[in-house]
Amino acid sequence: MVKKVAVALGVLSLVFPTMAFAADEASSQMLNMGLNTLWILIAAILVILMQGGFILLEAGSTRMKNAGHVAGKTIFTIGLCSLVYWAVGYGITFGTDNVENETLSNIIGWGSFFFDPSIAGDPLNENYPTSVFFLFQLAFAAISLSIAWGGFAERAKLSSYLVFTVLFVAVIYPVVAHWIWGGGWLAQDGAQDYAGSTVVHLTGALAAFAATVLLKPRIGKFNKDGSANEILGHNQVYSALSVLLLWVGWFGFNAGSAVSVGDGFFAYVAFNTQLGAAAGAVAALLISWLITGKADITTTLNGALAGLVAITASCAFVDPWAAVVIGLVAGVLVFFSVKFFEKIKVDDPIYALSVHGMAGIWGTLANGIFATQVLADKVGVGQGGLIDTGSWHQLWVQFESVVVVGAYVLGASFLILGVMKMVMGFRVTEEQEIIGLDLSEHGTYGYPEQMKKAQQNL
Amino acid sequence: MSDPGGAQLLSRIGSADDIAALRSLRDEVHEQMEALLSEQPVEQFYAILNEAHDALIKRTIALAEADLARMGNSPPVPYAYLLFGSGGREEQTLSSDQDSGLIYDDPDDEAERETARQYFADLTQLIVETLQQVGYPPCEGNVISTNPDWCLSLSDWDNKLNGWFEEPDWERVRYLLIVADSRSIYGEDELLEKLKGLFFSDMLENPVIVRHMLNNTMRHKVLVGVFGQLLRERYGEDAGSLDVKYGAYIPMVNAIRMMSIRAGLRETSTLARIHSLHLMGKLSADDASAYTEAFRLFMRLRLMATERSLDGMYMNNGKLSSRKLTKELTDQLKTGLRIGKKLQRRVFRQMNGMF
């Protein structure tokens, strides 16, 4: 590493001779920090851009009458989420004021509220400035929140988005993130979740599950005899584009989680990510073709996302072949999961429970099976999985983290949303749901010409 | 039924003299046949049922003709009333719609031509309306004798067929396949024989048509998956049910029809076609009996499909609800569907191999 930097600086010094004077130990650390910062910021930007994917995904998978609301509320909640995470969420995840009290610091962090980072990093003691780390972590919190909106789709009141954003970003997400990434008790157990199959995706999906159960299915989703109707989204091209945006953004999500440029390990993470996503898309199309006789587009899109979600936990811990297997299984899993939720009459408008929940669980457990000792040592978290080491230990730890996180998020979400439902009401009225949230919550349509025409025909 | 073979019922239909009487006989047929459903072998059931349908339709036509005669109009030239679709194949269920046409002999001159056109327009109008009141809904695809395109003189039919053969786009090929199933139910059967003669000589002159027919014939997939599983409806009120009509019955009808047209067979009923194909050596005894078995099953299941009554018409959505699909039936169905799928593949290969 140092050698490479020296060579690079040597070359640079030919171009800018004055730089040669600065080519000492301190400036090589400075360069290291600069490159890390640049990469983490790019990754944060990519992850924030994934919100564009969520806008298109949710809008494309739902009906025209809600499109403006879907898009607008995403921008609003990203804004609100940023402020809450700055004020409270970051401190609960990474605050170190309570570090002496081990019992407490195992459960939550404390400190760094209304986060005020130093204006520049300290190259001798830090790998990157905390400002860039904050942005990156904030982007993750916002993704988890947007996943939760899947359970709200097409029928929740706008005010419930406001209240739930505050509570999710202050209380639910930061606690889980602290447990696994902030030095909490699961981190100490060696739980492997490289970029957040559990922390981000499962957390968001379980909040979505609580929401969709409390809200009850959309009008017209299920018939009296229990059979499901297909409520088609209004734009499949949006949905497909959303998957591409998310896929590209995911390189920031996973490879960015290396939070360093270093020896280029982050590129290996990106490489595995691509394999997982690809396998997920292929497996999902094929399984739907085999089982239903039709190659379903929605299933294919879900498969790509499920592959991405599953590989998120394991992208740094497994060999390439395992990344393919993890993606393939995720693609098949998501197909059956969608059928399963329909069967138990849970309305999952944008498939968040299957894509982020089921695939998130699978991805987290997959570490316990496929992680290799070499890579676990390299990342410095946990140990190799069942296949490489023959030991069940890591699988048990992974299982534990899924169960514990699941129980916490489910409990907290049901509690918060249940209280909200009692106190302020959670769902719009039947009439509002039928005319659409664009009109009922915002007073204007996302597609004014088409919707006005449609209304005249009513 | 206390009336084996329905002889008594048939004779009552034959002597009914108004719409109300026909309607109540139709309802009686429906009730009696439903009771028979479980007792009779399926071919026999269809034979009795189709005889009853035929009798009702014939009587309706005779009454319509008599009505016009009372106003001083009698048929200016001989004609034949045609049934297409399941009626043509003698495979009508308890609830079948009207797929019909009419063919009349060529009038001598222009004046007579106009008279004939007017007469048959009036006649078909009366027939179709009466049949609706008797409980037969009109064909949704407008293949019905009141449609001037399906009520023509022999030479006009000839021109029409030639046009279809010459420019075989998708829709026209569909019409040709419809004509292949036609059957004369009333009047001068000879006229249809002539038309069929033209059809088959045109076939010989346009061998390319087979490829077009093949695409049209294969468009309905047999609803069995790669793992031998049934491909059921996933959404909506019929979720869990199997579309027996379009996923089992029609693909088989289409495949057998395709083979029969190639072989120049004039039979219209699918079971008769299979039998004749075997006699001609186009099907081995084993294949013929396997196809017959599968088709009999599909015929039986069609009768079990969800029925609904709409505005006094007998309707059927062709779908078999999951409640009726017992374990035993499901197994039989899977076997039958696999045979249907193999047949489809065989026809596809045979026809493609010709070019």
Contact A137, A94 (CB under 8 A): yes
In this predicted model, what pLDDT tens digit does every residue of A426-455 receive, in sequence order? 999 999 999 999 999 999 999 988 888 777
E strands, B170-306, where?
Answer: 183-187, 242-243
* pLDDT over 50 at B355, yes or no: no
Give the Cα separation of A142 and A50 in Å (integer): 10
Q: How far is CA B270 from CA A73, A164, A180, B209, B264, in A?
A: 60, 64, 68, 21, 14
Every domain of chain A and the residues it spans: 36-453
Contact A291, B229 (CB under 8 A): yes
pLDDT value for B46: 92
Out of A16-30, A318-332, B159-173, give the one with best mean pLDDT: A318-332
Contact A50, A250 (CB under 8 A): yes
Closest C-alpha among A212, A195, A197 to residue A150: A212
For A158-167, b where at least 16 C-beta lie within 10 A, e where not — what string? Answer: bebbebbbbb
Percent over 90 (pLDDT), chain B: 67
* B71 CA: distance to closest CA in chain A (Å): 47
- The answer to whether the CB atoms of B236 and A227 lie below 8 A apart is yes
Percent over 90 (pLDDT), chain A: 88
- Complex ipTM: 0.77
Count how many Cα atoms sit within 13 Å of the Cα of residue B291 in the half-sphere of its side chain: 30
pLDDT value for A272: 98
pLDDT value for B315: 77
Token pair recorded at residue A110? 């404390």
- State which CATH number among 3.30.450.40, 1.10.3430.10, 3.40.190.10, 3.90.180.10 fits the domain covering A36-453: 1.10.3430.10
| Block residue for tokens 């379009």 | B246
Determine the length of chain B: 355
In this predicted model, what pLDDT tens digit does every residue of B45-75 receive, in sequence order? 999 999 999 999 999 999 999 999 999 999 9
In this complex, which of B221, B227, B237 lies closest to A223 when CB atoms are compared?
B237
Q: In CATH, what number is assigned to the domain containing residue B347?
A: 1.20.120
Residue B346: inside a domain: yes
* B226 CA: distance to closest CA in chain A (Å): 6
Give the Cα separation of B142 and B147 in Å (integer): 7
pLDDT value for A32: 93
- The answer to whether the CB atoms of A227 and B223 lie below 8 A apart is no
Average pLDDT, chain A: 93
The more confidently predicted of residues B80 and B349 is B80
Query: What 3-state class would DSSP assign to B275?
Result: helix
Q: How would residue A12 be classed by pLDDT, with cut points 50, 70 and 90?
A: low
Cβ atoms within 10 Å of A256's Cβ, excluding its own:
26
Contact A372, A394 (CB under 8 A): no
Residue of A218, A223, A227, A339 best to disrupt the B interface, most CBs of B under 10 A:
A227
Q: How would residue A23 be classed by pLDDT, with cut points 50, 70 and 90?
A: low
Beta bridge partners of B183: B83
In this predicted model, what pLDDT tens digit does every residue of A325-359 receive, in sequence order? 999 999 999 999 999 999 999 999 999 999 999 99
DSSP string, A10-73: HHHHHHSTTHHHH-SHHHHHHHHHHHHHHHHHHHHHHHHHHHHHHHHHHHHHS-GGGHHHHHHH
Question: What's the whole-number mean pLDDT along residues A272-276?
Answer: 98
In this predicted model, what pLDDT tens digit does every residue of B108-151 receive, in sequence order? 999 999 999 999 999 999 999 999 999 999 888 899 999 999 99
Chain B CB contacts of A225 under 8 Å are 237
pLDDT value for B1: 46
* A346 CA: distance to closest CA in chain B (Å): 14
* pLDDT over 50 at B261, yes or no: yes
Q: Does B137 contact A at CB distance below 8 Å?
A: no
pTM recorded for the entire structure: 0.86
Give the Cα separation of B262 and B326 in Å (integer): 38
Give the Cα separation of A244 and A325 in Å (integer): 21
Q: How would residue B4 be classed by pLDDT, with cut points 50, 70 and 90?
A: low
Contact B49, B33 (CB under 8 A): yes
Contact B168, B214 (CB under 8 A): no
- The answer to whether the CB atoms of A230 and B225 lie below 8 A apart is no
Q: Does B223 contact A at CB distance below 8 Å?
A: yes
E strands, A325-420, where?
Answer: none
Closest C-alpha among A203, A363, A163 to residue A280: A363
Question: What's the whole-number mean pLDDT along residues B171-192?
Answer: 95
Q: Does A291 contact B at CB distance below 8 Å?
A: yes
Q: How many CB pairs under 8 A join A and B?
A: 31
Pick from A236-240, A278-282, B224-228: least confident: B224-228
* A292 CA: distance to closest CA in chain B (Å): 6
Residue B113: inside a domain: no
Question: What's the whole-number mean pLDDT along residues A221-233?
Answer: 90
- The answer to whether the CB atoms of A293 and B236 lie below 8 A apart is no
pLDDT value for A21: 52
In this predicted model, what pLDDT tens digit does every residue of A32-86 receive, in sequence order? 999 999 999 999 999 999 999 999 999 999 999 999 999 999 999 999 999 999 9
> Residue B226: closest CA among chain A residues belongs to which residue?
A290
Residue B78: inside a domain: no
Chain B CB contacts of A292 under 8 Å are 225, 231, 234
> Residue B235: closest CA among chain A residues belongs to which residue?
A229
* pLDDT over 80 at A4, yes or no: no
Pairing of strands B100-104, B151-153: parallel
Give the Cα separation of B176 and B280 in Å (integer): 23
Q: Which residues contact A105 (CB under 8 A, 6 or more apart)?
A: A96, A98, A99, A183, A184
* pLDDT over 80 at B292, yes or no: yes
Contact A434, A62 (CB under 8 A): no
Closest C-alpha among A180, A198, A205 to residue A402: A198
Give the Cα separation of B158 and B66 in Å (integer): 29
Dmax (CA) for chain A in angstroms is: 80
* pLDDT over 60 at A316, yes or no: yes
| Block residue for tokens 């009505």 | B67
* pLDDT over 90 at B204, yes or no: no
Q: What is the DSSP letter of A286?
A: H
pLDDT value for A2: 61
Residue B77: inside a domain: no
Give one word for B143, left, alpha or beta, with left for phi > 0 and alpha for psi -120 to 50.
beta
Q: How many domains does chain B have?
A: 1
pLDDT value for A419: 97
Sign of the C-alpha dihedral, residues B56, B62, B68, B74?
positive
Residue B275: inside a domain: yes
Residue B321: inside a domain: yes
- Quote the domain boundaries for residue B255: 207-355
Q: How would residue B352 be classed by pLDDT, with cut points 50, 70 and 90?
A: confident
